[in-house]
Amino acid sequence: MKTEHIVKALEEVVHQFGMEVRWEKGRFQGGRCVVNGEDLIMLNKHHPPEVHLVILAESLRDLPMDTIFLRPAVREAVETIWKRHPHTLREALLEEEEADAE
């Protein structure tokens, strides 16, 4: 399954949890935040889909994902990210940026 399709599926999951995904341009990494009392996930339009996938997976980590139906490929992608990145999102993004620079 293409990364873009997994990202789209995770956007739908975010909506099922009553949150919004905002796609913005700018100099920010993105992630889950609260704006005007609203829980949302910010994604930077300048980042590639692989970074969006990591941000969405990390943002959903503490939610009851077992209560939501996910296609097996989507669930596998999320669980792989959780295993690969047991540390902070900031460190995960820095690692991906370093890998892209090589």
pLDDT digits (tens, 9 = 90+) for 55-95: 999 999 989 999 999 999 999 999 999 988 765 555 656 66
- Calpha distance 102→81 (Å, rounded): 21
pLDDT tens profile 28-60: 999 999 999 999 999 999 999 999 999 999 999
33: β partners: 40
pLDDT of residue 101: 73
- The amino acid occupying position 100 is D
Identify the band that residue 98 occupies on the pLDDT scale cut at 50, 70 and 90.
confident
Q: Residue 86 corresponds to which tokens in the numbers above? A: 């047991």
Query: DSSP alpha helices (H): ranges in the chain?
Result: 3-16, 49-60, 72-84, 89-101
pLDDT of residue 92: 59
Task: Choose among 50, 49, 48, 10: nearest CA to 32.
Answer: 10
pLDDT of residue 33: 93
What's the burial of 61, exposed, middle or buried (CB within 10 Å: 0-12/13-18/19+)? middle
Grouping H, G, I as helix, E, B as strand and the rest as coil, residue 43 is: strand
pTM of the model: 0.80
